[in-house]
Amino acid sequence: MPLLLAGTTFTPSLTLLAAVAAVIGGLVAALVATRRRLRDSQEAFRSHVANAPIGILQSDANGMCTYANEAWCRLAGLSLEETVGHSWSRAIHPDDLADVMRKWEEAVREARPYLNEVRIVRPDGSIRTVLATAQPMHDGHGRLTGFIGTVMDMTEVLDARKHVRDQQSLLQSLVDHSSAVIYLKDLQSRYLLVNKRHIDLWPKMRDFRPGTTPYDWFPEETAKAFVESDAQVARTGREYTFTENVVHDGEPRTYVSVKFPVTDEKGTVIAVGGVSTDVTELQQTRSQLAQKEQVLRRLIEVQEQEKQLLCHEFHDGIIQYAVGAIMLLETMAEENRTLSTQARDTVTSAVACLRRGVDDGRRVIRGIRPAALDDLGLKAAIEDLCTQMREAGFTVTAHLAPDIDTIPPGLQTTAYRIVQESLSNARKYSGSSSVEVGVRRTDDAVELHVADHGCGFDPQAAGRQGFGLVGMNERVRLAGGECRIESAPGTGARIDVRLPLAPVAAVPTLPRQ
């Protein structure tokens, strides 16, 4: 066929026609390949959508659903046929339906994105909370062609968030109702949290905000001490107890603060927590108690000294006079041959009475404070107690270390009184015919025990009924020792006491850094 170019007849050659045919064929092949790639891409997209772990829906420009993937069907419990159009709305919680439809219709009408948190009700009645989103789609000319949307199940996430909020609320409630001061700081000593007690004690902190430091609320010297102790905990990763002094309304107060590291799951220190307790009154009470105990110790010492003096007075006075009278009467009876029988009997009776008086006096003196304790030492004094028990018909086994006489005199008196009281109780109440006594010295203490095999008792009840065990425990406590009483009805009794050789501190001290 001839070609007319600018009024001229032109007949193309076969070569030109072949070239044109080749170009057209290439264009056709490229178009086919492009369509194939587009089809493959669409198929891949549909495959990804179909197998996506979240719900995906597609609608037309009027907002009518045309497609839903398997994830949506599983989540909502609806089939694709039960989803298309507006049928998907049957899965919405009745209380949320009106709001969901209003917002969806507005998004369709204005061709803008959609975002909403929605509750859906599954066929089994369970409720899931989802985050629904939709984005408008446009063609090459900018015309709205529809919407592509996602539905993500947020139930577990929201439940976890609620659990965290509940835990935070519970924690805040607990710390706010504590009588102690509680706080949390980061590694730069910046406050993250303080409790209500903290704010109540320092009204200035009513304007508290996280990120502030002790320098924002306290005098520089006090703040510096706080920051240094915080840094020590953060640096070492260990818990410490500090004694901290703070001024409240011009009055110095003492706090015992327990500060501890807060770590993450890897064990790295990320914060420093603290609990501070006002111990000002406790410290004052301890000081007063220490002073009273010091007075009580002194009274006991004076009492023992008075007993010692009284016993010497009896022994060197009245007892000696009575012994002298006995000797005079016996001499008179032996040398005076003219005494009548009646007079001689009277003298004999008088001598007997005096001897009984001397024996009773000596027994009383031994009970008040034996001369052996002052003259011969603790070992001899306890052996004398054992002898008295044997004279009363008891079998006594004594294990007395020879070096117990080297302990301080005051501690000897305490040990003696404990053994004396224990043996007296065994004699009066145990019903046992045998008793065991042991006293020994270690490098830093005196240890003693008294045991019987009698009827036993309830230590708690016995402590309420008499002063014996109470007095014994008080003696041990004032000496800084430990007393353990083991007994029960029908099992006998054992008393173990440990008395430290070191002197008792005059004033108890609070924990230090």
The string of DSSP codes covering 476-495 is HHHTT-EEEEEE-TTS-EEE
The mean pLDDT of 394-419, rounded to a whole number, is: 87
| Cα separation of the two ends of the chain | 111
Is pLDDT of 364 > 80? no
pTM summary value: 0.43
- Contact between residue 471 and residue 418 where contact means Cβ atoms under 8 Å apart: no
Task: State the greatest distance between any 2 C-alpha atoms of the chain, in Å, as a whole number.
Answer: 201
Secondary element (H or E) of residue 218: none
What is the Rg, in whole angstroms, of the alpha carbon atoms belonging to the chain?
50
Cα–Cα distance measured from residue 92 to residue 71, given in angstroms and rounded to the nearest whole number: 16
Assign 3-class secondary structure to 374-422: HHCCHHHHHHHHHHHHHHCCCEEEEEECHHHHHCCHHHHHHHHHHHHHH
β pairing state of 395-400 and 434-441: parallel
Joined together, the tokens standing for residue 315 give 């022994």
H or E element, residue 24:
helix 14-50
- CA dist 497 → 440, 446, 449, 480, 489 (Å): 11, 8, 6, 11, 21
Q: What is the pLDDT of residue 498?
A: 93
- Tokens linked to 6: 């600018």
Q: In terms of CATH, what superfamily is 377-513?
A: Histidine kinase-like ATPase, C-terminal domain (3.30.565.10)
pLDDT tens track for 204-219: 777 778 888 999 888 8
Instruction: Report the pLDDT averaged over residues 282-304.
Output: 68
57-61, 274-278, 504-508: segment of lowest average pLDDT? 504-508
Phi-psi region of 101 (alpha: psi -120 to 50; beta: other; left: phi over 0): alpha
Domain positions in the chain are: 51-147, 160-278, 281-369, 377-513
Q: Are 481 and 498 in contact (CB under 8 A)?
A: yes
Q: What per-residue confidence (pLDDT) applies to 54?
A: 86
- Average pLDDT score over the chain: 80
Q: Give the residue-averaged pLDDT of 365-381.
A: 73
Instruction: Kindly tell me if the per-residue pLDDT of 1 is higher than 50.
Output: no
| Banded model confidence at residue 111, pLDDT cuts 50, 70, 90 | very high
pLDDT tens, 26-37? 665 665 565 566
Q: 449 or 248: which carries more pLDDT confidence?
A: 449
What is the CATH T-level fold of the domain 160-278, as seen in this structure?
A: Beta-Lactamase (3.30.450)
Give which of 157, 153, 89 is closest to 127, Cα–Cα. 153
Which pLDDT score is estimated for 314?
A: 62
Closest Cα to residue 426, out of 468, 373, 483?
468
Going by their DSSP bridges, the two strands 251-263 and 269-278 should be labelled as: antiparallel
Q: Assess whether the region 160-278 and the region 377-513 belong to the same CATH fold.
A: no
437 φ, ψ (degrees, to nearest 5): -125, 135
Could you give the count of Cα atoms lying within 13 Å of 476 in the half-sphere of its Cβ? 25
Res 149 pLDDT > 70: yes
* Apex 362 CA angle, 357 and 367, nearest 5: 125
Q: How confident is the model at residue 105 (pLDDT cuts 50, 70, 90)?
A: very high
Average pLDDT over residues 38-52: 54
pLDDT for position 5: 45
pLDDT of residue 44: 47
Predicted pLDDT of residue 9: 53
Say yes or no to pLDDT of 354 above 70.
yes
224, 246 in Cβ contact below 8 A? no
Superfamily classification of domain 51-147: PAS domain (3.30.450.20)
The C-alpha atoms of residue 400 and residue 426 are separated, in whole angstroms, by 19
Question: Hey, what are 226's tokens?
Answer: 């706080």
Residue 247: predicted pLDDT = 79
| Confidence tier at 226 by pLDDT (50, 70, 90) | very high
Q: What pLDDT is attached to residue 187?
A: 93
